Chain A
């Protein structure tokens, strides 16, 4: 599988440094995870050729493709912005046709076949003649990914794809991303950890313009193995854990179930299986580049 090499990228806006010597190897379905202001959107804009870095390079070695030549990159790029929408009185098929022409798909028949196939793959065939204003939020997102798929791009960039969707739509959309990412590079930026758990093979965790960690989903999840505990605390007792170590507090019948980080064993606490979210919180709270 091909990979995008991001090497030593720096980007500043005035005195604020949005990306600070970022280096990454992006392959497969790749997730960018980080809190607001981490620099995800800036990095996504650079990857989508919407902006240029102050220094550093982005390229695909196998194809000898450099982001210094954005026109060549754009020919292989599909992009779904965070707030995708389009003129509301257009029909789904008109929107698809518009983007298909814009992406240089020639021939009415070829275009029609490509549109039908993509709409089918995103489960929008039945909505083909519907106007955009009559689509639900999830359908609109699927239309967004459908337009990104036009021209069969090798790289798809998806910014906050599930923001504002209900759970059912979110699950469906993540499944769709997983499906379309089989033969191409998909870069997903989000702050919702669950989305990446179900879709991404590789994940990078960012904070304050820096990459804190990269790795496979499982490897990242296992990073905090042995560091995550749970303990029961009665309602009328104080929680004996420092605020910054708490991951979550669940309210049960007559007690709290407290999940927390600890580097040593604690009485009445038991170690539990870790997940990606634990690692994300552990790393971002401590700005750790190594665990």
Chain B
């Protein structure tokens, strides 16, 4: 050990006495400071530092080359070889020095990063722990691998040819390697990339940084491969190790590589926000739901209770015991919906195994005995599946909201659908009756749910809307008994403004549309899920009296434009909350826009009417077109507010009664305005 430390010390002395070393360090920190001062989120700043990593990779490859070439130049290899294990200590010492140097740069970067954000007013929360792992992975290990590559290049290639090779290696392994490899080699580029996997993407405030086990394994593959090359050099070039030892070490390395590759193959499906894949999971889902979906007869049954044994690690694995009650006539079979990527392993009806029929998101269960009215039935369903970009269920993040059929749902509609704008939107699978839930959970902690935890890992309670689970790169605080859960990379400012606006809208809508139980919830979650469907204003907010969920990804609770907040919140607390069946999304969009514009007008909330362009821009013809144009013109006139208010109220009643066809809206409009 002393001999290794001696080598490290000597190389350190040599390094520390070179002005270029200090110049590089100062340049590195200056660049970091520029990045920090430009980006307010500690998450975004890391995913945006790929240029720094790219530069660091080049510097470390060159460090490796220069150190070995110094030995060549001074003919030290012969000298060390005449000292027992001298050359071995020399090489290992060099590698350890590289590791320590990478670690040194990483620590300096981290300390600077931490101090900067703590001074900016951020609390020391989990993102700063994740940042350590991120920097270890993409700075420390990446720099070390670069340095290792530099050492091997210099060992194998003598002379100046090493430098063009260094440039090639630099171009191949950096996070912006697609610039060198071109877009046609993106798969290769992705595998070679040792930096941030998605350098052009934004930080995912729920999922956190790209520090999945997968990426660690990928780096380990590199390290083991480089060790194999080093062993070849030790055996062939330096004759340091004997043939027998060499063979054993090579065999061991290959076994290790196989094990790591097996781990990679398991985790490959867990690519985070799908941006890593050539075709994103989201696009896969879009194409899936674009095809015709099966239809099921709507049944008047509802769930009395769910007992869920849930394990979320690499996969979601669960066994759900549910009790259902039949509110209609006799049934021979039963259809539930369950997200199609959750594969049902086994299903029992009243303790007996039955063979189900799976058709996309629908699960049809034959009943051996007739199921009479007002009778209950017990189902036990075991299934498992992987995370996706549209929800999260792995050891990094969990977002399984009440409206998503991650639990078998009696609402036999697909999980998603593609609307008339070609947007993938969620279908609401929320419950309609109070339902008992028992959840036994094993997975990432802490887990946020809308039912209380009765003992570690067990949650119990009743909900009328469903069970929501949330976990990830989040932080928590309480304000006046309200649990606030939000991403670790934001300060969570402007909560009171959001709360006041929410309460005002809740009260107004409750009185105006007669919607019951519109109270301010005890849980407010901010879970930016970053899927394209979140871009439509109907998807920004989800509301139940227990939980309010925001999925927009800005850095504070409230948004700069209060008018927009109305447009986002209103659908959540009206037709989405009341689970009104949506037949034509454009009818609902037209309604939302009018209602919110009026609300903003009445409450003197500055609204430029930007959304109103939609009426004339959306594809329409016939009666739909007439209605939309008339609505647009009517809204532009700033008078007759009361009539407009009465009109939207009646329109909502039409929607509630499933009578909101364009024809009926036209008639209503005729009544109030005269089209």
Contact = CB atoms under 8 A, between A and B. Distances in A.
B81 A50 contact: yes
A90 B6 CA distance: 13
Q: Interface residues of B toward A: which range?
A: 20 to 34
B4 to A, nearest CB: 10
Contacts of A52: 239
A86 interface: yes
B375 interface: no
A203 to B, nearest CB: 23
A48 B75 CA distance: 14
Nearest to A89: B17
Interface stretch (A94-102, A179-187, A240-248): A94-102
Interface string B73-86: 11110111111111
Given A87-B10, A94-B10, A101-B2, A74 B82 contact: yes
Nearest to B93: A102
B602 to A, nearest CB: 77
B82 A79 contact: yes
A99 B82 CA distance: 12
Given A74-B83, A79-B79, A90-B13, A101 B3 contact: yes
Interface string B366-382: 00000000000000000
B89 A86 contact: no
Contacts of A256: none
Contacts of A103: 83
A90 B81 contact: no
Contacts of A84: 74-75, 79
A90 B9 CA distance: 11
Nearest to A98: B10
Nearest to B81: A50
Contacts of A79: 78-79, 82
A89 B15 CA distance: 9
Given A75-B84, A89-B18, A102-B6, A48 B78 contact: yes
A83 B10 contact: no
Nearest to A157: B82
A101 B82 contact: no
Given A50-B78, A89-B14, A94-B13, A101 B84 contact: no
A49 interface: yes
B354 interface: no
B637 to A, nearest CB: 82
A95 to B, nearest CB: 8
A50 B83 contact: no
Nearest to B6: A101
A196 B240 CA distance: 34
Interface string A68-108: 00010011010101111111011000100111011110000
Nearest to A75: B84
A102 B3 contact: yes
B579 to A, nearest CB: 75
A85 B74 contact: yes
Interface in A145-159: 147, 157
Contacts of B86: 102
A48 B82 contact: yes
Contact of B70 (A45, A83, A87, A97): A87
Interface in B227-262: 239
Interface string A42-61: 00010011101000000000
Given A85-B75, A89-B14, A94-B13, A77 B89 contact: no
Interface string A235-278: 00000000000000000000000000000000000000000000
Contact of A74 (B7, B14, B70, B84): B84
A81 B10 contact: no
B75 A82 contact: yes
* Residue with the greatest number of chain A CB neighbours at <10 A, chosen from B2, B73, B80, B81: B81
B74 A77 contact: no
A90 B78 contact: no
A71 B81 contact: no
A49 B74 contact: no
A82 B78 CA distance: 10
A164 B442 CA distance: 75
A86 B6 contact: no
Contacts of A98: 6-7, 10
A90 B11 CA distance: 10
A75 B82 CA distance: 9
Contacts of A86: 74, 76
A186 B21 CA distance: 41
B77 to A, nearest CB: 9
A84 B86 CA distance: 16
A82 B74 CA distance: 10
A90 B17 CA distance: 9
Contacts of B6: 97-98, 101-102
Interface in B526-551: none
A98 B90 CA distance: 11
Contacts of A50: 78, 81-82
A85 B73 CA distance: 8
B598 to A, nearest CB: 77
Contacts of A89: 13-14, 17-18
Interface in B139-168: none
A155 to B, nearest CB: 10
A178 B584 CA distance: 104
A159 to B, nearest CB: 9
Nearest to B10: A98
Nearest to A82: B75
Nearest to B70: A87
A172 to B, nearest CB: 22
A50 B6 CA distance: 23
A181 to B, nearest CB: 18
Nearest to A91: B13
A89 B7 CA distance: 15
Contacts of A77: 82
Interface of B: 2-3, 6-7, 10, 13-14, 17-18, 70, 73-76, 78-86, 89, 239
Interface of A: 45, 48-50, 52, 71, 74-75, 77, 79, 81-87, 89-90, 94, 97-99, 101-104, 147, 157
Given A83-B75, A87-B10, 12 more contacts: A48-B78, A50-B78, A50-B81, A71-B84, A81-B79, A83-B74, A87-B13, A90-B10, A94-B10, A102-B83, A104-B84, A147-B79
9 contacts: A48-B82, A79-B79, A83-B75, A85-B73, A85-B75, A86-B74, A87-B70, A97-B6, A99-B83
Listed from nearest, the 10 A-B pairs whose CB atoms lie closest are A89-B17, A79-B82, A101-B6, A87-B14, A74-B84, A85-B74, A83-B75, A98-B10, A48-B82, A81-B75
